[in-house]
């Protein structure tokens, strides 16, 4: 049933039929803005001899283009650079380009689409200014493409779009059931039709539609998440079959062969909404969708660590535009308290570390490399903000970020969160989080004397280090301290013994006596940086602490 050769005329015809059906019959898949309102800075013209064009210098009669979603891999990628730009504009010898690119040109020509967009050739790779500007336009490049072709199973440019298939994995076996009669192959098609139960189709074991895409190497790469989500339609060239996805329909090659274009439309269930290709609109999105996306996104990897925010820039712009929220370092200011409550997701085989080059402030999930998870929901935060109990909740007074270059959604060179909240000083001793105890042996601070930051700090220092102990109090640093709460360090290597400052973030009304806190390290008098997250800490521990106003960087 499935073509052995994904490059056969029949295979190309199937893809063309799916693209045309979508373009003509799916109102949901029509671009939000006219096709001519955005053009990538550069495109590759495939109509005649292959060459790079600059769209500002050219009038395009038919501006449709196919975009490529692919892995660069470890092989040296052919790129456009400041030195090669001129020659690329004059013409490119196709035979020198990787197989994936050549496959893409074949598709474009066969569909009579005059242009294609490939990142390595359409962005000047050695010009930081060009790269930064183009990276910030990437979302629009994919969302305005006629169709995106995804090299789902190719680790690098040599893999191609058209991947050879294993016949045994794809073919349906027909078993004929004509008891006491002649062997089935002696029957004509008409006779078979008159015996509807006579043929049993045995399908080879087959992964789900989503698995076909997700198990490909392309789905492990960071850049390709927004490429998939923002494209109006995508053809995934997997190593088993070709898979179609648009805002209206999801369809596999098997579906197409079984029931044609009427097949494969899938109702969007809640669990698949993460990949709902409909763009972010108020009726289908909430903050939770963003957090789910970030969870998935942080499991993906990059060749360059510093791309982590840049490769989400297009998606962030889309959400910002649709929802009117304000974006800072991978989080939304309108739901910032929920956004601050993240922790590393330590599943087998994962590793967490800080990237070599600064890319985001410590309070953002983007400051660390490795999978993360969000710990709370927006609903919980909203509920808490309505609770009057003692009026204790973190107030974010201001958020500022400084982009590394021009893209405010991309890599950052600084970021600062100014907050007013309740802070407690504790310590890590011999690997345990400890809190000073008062003379009654309770975890509670005596009285309200620690209500200002300075006094409170002083009190803790005295109790903690035994420097200004009053007579009768234990002098050993370990004595008079008890373990409490669960502190998880963002990076395991940062868990050495030290003072640690706990900023109460979430009231945690379930269970009522416990709350969450951000664990901070002090940089200077008012400046702190996040090093971890504490869950299930007793609210009582914060009772005697007054409000402080601090900056977290
Ligand atoms: Zn469609």
In degrees, to the nearest 5, what angle opens at C-alpha 25 toward C-alphas 160 and 214?
35
Backbone CA torsion sign across 211, 212, 215, 220:
negative
pLDDT at 121: 98
188 confidence band (pLDDT: 50, 70, 90): low
CA–centroid distance, 287 to ligand 1, in Å, is 26
Tell me the C-alpha distance between 162 and 104, whole Å.
9
Alpha carbon distance 471, 529 (integer Å): 35
Distance from residue 24's CA to the centre of ligand 1 (Å):
8
| pTM of the entire predicted model | 0.83
| Residue-wise pLDDT tens digits, 18-34 | 999 999 998 888 876 66
Whether the CB-CB separation of 246 and 234 falls below 8 Å is answered with: yes
Angle at 127 between CA 124 and CA 132, to 5 degrees: 90
Which residue in 297, 306, 298, 301 sits closest to 128, CA to CA? 306
Cα–ligand 1 centroid distance for 232 (angstroms):
7
Return the higher-pLDDT residue of 483 and 477.
Answer: 483
Query: Which of 143-152, 344-353, 429-438, 494-503 has the lowest average pLDDT?
Result: 429-438
Query: CA 473 → CA 230, 432, 439, distances in Å?
Result: 64, 22, 7
d(C-alpha 18, C-alpha 411), whole Å: 37
- Please report, rounded to a whole number, the percentage of residues in the chain having pLDDT higher than 90: 51
Q: For residue 234, how far is its CA from the centre of ligand 1 (angstroms)?
A: 10
Between CA 338 and CA 340 the distance in angstroms is: 5
Q: Which residues are CB-neighbours of 111 under 8 A, at least 6 positions away? A: 15, 16, 19, 66
Asked if pLDDT for residue 268 goes beyond 90, the answer is no
- pLDDT tens, residue by residue, 464-475: 333 333 333 333
Measured CA distances, 360 to 97, 328, 501 (Å): 36, 10, 21
Q: How far is the CA of 137 from the centre of ligand 1 (A)?
A: 23
Tell me which of 428 and 529 has the higher pLDDT.
529
Comparison of pLDDT for 456 and 358, the residue scoring more: 358
Region 163-191: mean pLDDT is 62
Instruction: Please tell me the predicted confidence (pLDDT) of residue 14.
Output: 93
Give pLDDT, residue 54: 97
477: tokens are: 């640093």
Distance 277 CA to ligand 1 centre (A): 10
* pLDDT tens-place string over residues 223-255: 999 999 999 899 999 988 999 999 888 888 888
CA of 260 to the centre of ligand 1 (A): 15
Q: Rounded to whole angstroms, how far apart are CA atoms 162 and 240?
A: 10
More confident residue, 197 or 16: 16
> Distance from the CA of 409 to the center of ligand 1, in angstroms?
29
Does 208 have pLDDT greater than 70? yes
**Among 160-169, 188-197, 492-501, the least confident range:** 188-197
Q: What is the mean pLDDT of residues 418-426?
A: 92
CA of 248 to the centre of ligand 1 (A): 5
CA angle 326, 503, 513 (to 5 degrees): 110
Ligand 1 centre distance from Cα of residue 32 (Å):
13
Residue 340's φ and ψ, nearest 5 degrees, are: -75, -20
List, in sequence order, the alpha helices (H) in 345-400: 378-385
**Ligand 1: centre distance to CA 247 (Å):** 5
Centre of ligand 1 to C-alpha 19, Å, is 8
User: Could you give phi then psi for residue 226, rounded to 5 degrees?
Assistant: -70, -30
**What residues pack around ion ligand 1 (CB closer than 5 A)?**
22, 26, 29, 246, 248
What confidence category does residue 42 fall into, taking pLDDT thresholds of 50, 70 and 90? very high
| Spatial distance between the Cα atoms of 137 and 402, rounded to a whole number of angstroms | 19
**pLDDT at res. 400:** 97
pLDDT band at 271 (very low <50, low <70, confident <90, very high): low
88 Cβ contact partners less than 8 Å away, ≥ 6 residues apart: 51, 52, 80, 121
User: In angstroms, what is the span from residue 209 Cα to ligand 1's centroid?
Assistant: 16
Q: Which residues pair with 15 in a beta bridge?
A: none
pLDDT recorded at residue 357: 92
Place of tokens 């990897």: 301
| Res 250: pLDDT | 86
| Average pLDDT across the chain, whole number | 82
Cα 244 to ligand 1 centre (Å): 9
Please tell me the distance from the alpha carbon of residue 67 to that of residue 117, in angstroms, as a whole number: 5
Report the separation in Å between the CA atom of 25 and the middle of ligand 1, taken as the mean of its atom positions.
Answer: 7
Instruction: Please answer whether residues 124 and 42 qualify as being in contact, where contact means their C-beta atoms are separated by less than 8 angstroms.
Output: no
Complete DSSP assignment for 204-234: PP---HHHHHHTSGGGGBTTHHHHHHH-SEE
Q: Which two structure tokens, joined as six digits, stand for 310?
A: 């840049």
At 357-406, the pLDDT tens digits run: 999 999 999 999 999 999 988 888 877 777 655 545 789 999 999 999 99
How far is residue 137's CA from residue 43's CA, in Å, rounded to a whole number? 14
Label each residue of 67-81 as H, E or C.
EEECCCCCCCCCCEC
Which of 20-24, 250-254, 435-439, 492-496 is predicted most confidently? 20-24
Rounded to the nearest angstrom, the distance between the alpha carbon of 522 and the centre of ligand 1 is: 53
Q: If you measure from the C-alpha of residue 249 to the centroid of ligand 1, how many angstroms do you get, rounded to a whole number? A: 6
**Is a pLDDT exceeding 60 seen at residue 77?**
yes
Cα 27 to ligand 1 centre (Å) = 8
Ranked by mean pLDDT, the top range of 74-78, 103-107, 374-378 is: 103-107
Residue 107 near residue 118 (C-beta atoms within 8 A): no
Distance 402 CA to ligand 1 centre (A): 39
Q: With cut-offs at 50, 70 and 90, classify the pLDDT of residue 526.
A: very high
The pLDDT assigned to 2 comes to 77
First and final CA of the chain: distance in angstroms?
A: 58
The stretch 320-348 carries a mean pLDDT of 93
Q: Mutual orientation of helices 9-25 and 99-110 as an angle, nearest 10°? A: 60
- Strand 514-522 with 498-506, pairing: antiparallel
How much is the pLDDT for 453? 31
Give the closest residue to 203 by CA, choosing from 175, 232, 241, 242: 175
In the reported structure, the alpha carbon of residue 227 is separated from the centroid of ligand 1 by a whole-number distance in angstroms of 16
Q: What is the 155 CA–ligand 1 centroid distance (Å)?
A: 28
Alpha-carbon distances, residue 131 vs 1, 82, 136, 320 (angstroms):
44, 11, 9, 22
Tell me the CA–centroid distance for residue 74 and ligand 1, in Å. Answer: 34
For 336, how many CA atoms within 13 A lie in the half-sphere containing its CB? Answer: 21
Contact predicate 502/534, CB 8 Å: yes
The pLDDT value recorded for residue 191 is 61
Across 185-194, 240-249, 255-264, 355-364, least confident range = 185-194
Residue 478 scores a pLDDT above 70: no
Distance 142 CA to ligand 1 centre (A): 15
| Distance between Cα 39 and ligand 1 center (Å) | 21
What is the distance in A from the centroid of ligand 1 to the CA of 98? 30
The CA 271 to ligand 1 mean position distance, Å, reads 20
Say how many Å lie between the CA of residue 310 and the centre of ligand 1. 28
Tell me the C-alpha distance between 487 and 203, whole Å.
Answer: 51
What is the rounded distance in angstroms from the CA atom of residue 462 to the CA atom of residue 154? Answer: 61
In the predicted structure, residue 88 carries a pLDDT above the cut 60:
yes
pLDDT number for residue 214: 87
How far is residue 2 from each of residues 166, 237, 481, 517, measured CA to CA in Å?
11, 13, 68, 55
State how far the Cα of 473 lies from the Cα of 551, in Å rounded to an integer.
34
- The rounded Å distance from CA 103 to ligand 1 centre is 23
* pLDDT grade for 198, boundaries at 50, 70 and 90: low
Q: How far is the centre of ligand 1, averaged over its atoms, from the C-alpha of 53 (Å)?
A: 29
Residue 185: its pLDDT value, please? 53
For the chain, give every domain's residue range.
Answer: 9-166+207-267, 278-390, 414-552
Tokens of 69: 């979603």
For residue 531, report the distance from its CA to the centre of ligand 1, in Å: 45
- Structure token digits, residue 499: 């003072």
CA 61–ligand 1 middle distance (angstroms): 24
**Residue 168: predicted pLDDT:** 64
> Is residue 482 over pLDDT 60?
no
């Amino acid at each position: 049933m499935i073509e052995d050769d994904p490059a056969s005329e029949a295979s190309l015809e199937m893809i063309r039929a799916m693209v045309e059906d979508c373009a003509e019959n799916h109102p949901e898949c029509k671009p939000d803005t006219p096709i001519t309102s955005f053009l990538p800075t550069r495109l590759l013209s495939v109509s005649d001899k292959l060459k790079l064009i600059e769209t500002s210098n050219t009038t395009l009669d038919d501006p449709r283009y196919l975009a490529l979603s692919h892995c660069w891999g470890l092989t040296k990628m052919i790129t456009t650079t400041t030195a090669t730009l001129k020659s690329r504009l004059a013409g490119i010898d196709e035979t020198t380009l990787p197989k994936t690119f050549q496959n893409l040109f074949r598709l474009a020509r066969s569909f009579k689409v005059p242009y294609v967009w490939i990142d390595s050739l359409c962005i000047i790779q050695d010009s930081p200014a060009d790269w930064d500007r183009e990276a910030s336009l990437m979302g629009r490049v994919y969302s305005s493409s006629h169709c995106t072709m995804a090299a789902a199973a190719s680790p690098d440019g040599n893999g191609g779009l058209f991947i050879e298939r294993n016949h045994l994995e794809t073919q349906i076996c027909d078993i004929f059931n004509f008891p006491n009669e002649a062997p089935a192959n002696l029957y004509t098609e008409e006779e078979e039709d008159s015996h509807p139960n006579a043929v049993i189709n045995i399908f080879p074991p087959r992964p789900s539609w989503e698995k076909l895409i997700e198990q490909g190497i392309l789905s492990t790469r960071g850049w390709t998440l927004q490429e998939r989500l923002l494209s109006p339609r995508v053809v995934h060239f997997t190593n088993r079959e070709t898979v179609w996805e648009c805002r209206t329909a999801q369809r596999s090659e098997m579906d197409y062969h079984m029931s044609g274009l009427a097949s494969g439309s899938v109702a969007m269930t809640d669990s698949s909404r993460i990949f709902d290709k409909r763009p972010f609109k108020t009726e289908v999105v909430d903050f939770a969708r963003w957090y789910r996306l970030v969870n998935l996104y942080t499991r993906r990897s990059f060749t360059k660590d510093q791309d982590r925010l840049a490769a989400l820039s297009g998606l962030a712009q889309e959400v910002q535009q649709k929802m009117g929220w304000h974006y800072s370092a991978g989080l939304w200011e309108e739901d910032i308290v929920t956004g601050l409550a993240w922790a590393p997701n330590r599943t087998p085989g994962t590793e967490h570390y800080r990237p070599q080059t600064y890319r985001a402030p410590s309070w953002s999930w983007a400051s660390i490399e490795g999978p993360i998870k969000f710990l709370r929901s927006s609903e919980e935060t909203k509920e808490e903000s309505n609770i009057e109990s003692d009026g204790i909740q973190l107030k974010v007074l201001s958020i500022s970020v400084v982009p590394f270059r021009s893209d405010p959604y991309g890599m950052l060179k600084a970021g600062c969160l100014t907050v007013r909240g309740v802070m407690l000083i504790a310590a890590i001793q011999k690997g345990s989080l400890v809190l000073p105890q008062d003379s009654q042996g309770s975890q509670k601070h005596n009285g309200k004397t620690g209500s200002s930051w300075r006094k409170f700090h002083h009190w803790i220092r005295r109790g903690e280090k035994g420097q200004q102990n009053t007579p009768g109090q234990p002098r050993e640093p370990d004595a008079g301290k008890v373990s409490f709460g669960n502190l998880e360090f963002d990076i395991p290597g940062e868990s050495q013994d030290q003072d640690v400052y706990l900023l109460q973030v979430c009231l945690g009304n379930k269970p009522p006596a416990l709350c969450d806190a951000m664990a901070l390290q002090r940089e200077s008098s008012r400046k702190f940086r996040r090093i971890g997250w504490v869950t299930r800490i007793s609210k009582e521990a914060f009772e005697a602490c007054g409000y402080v106003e601090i900056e977290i960087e």
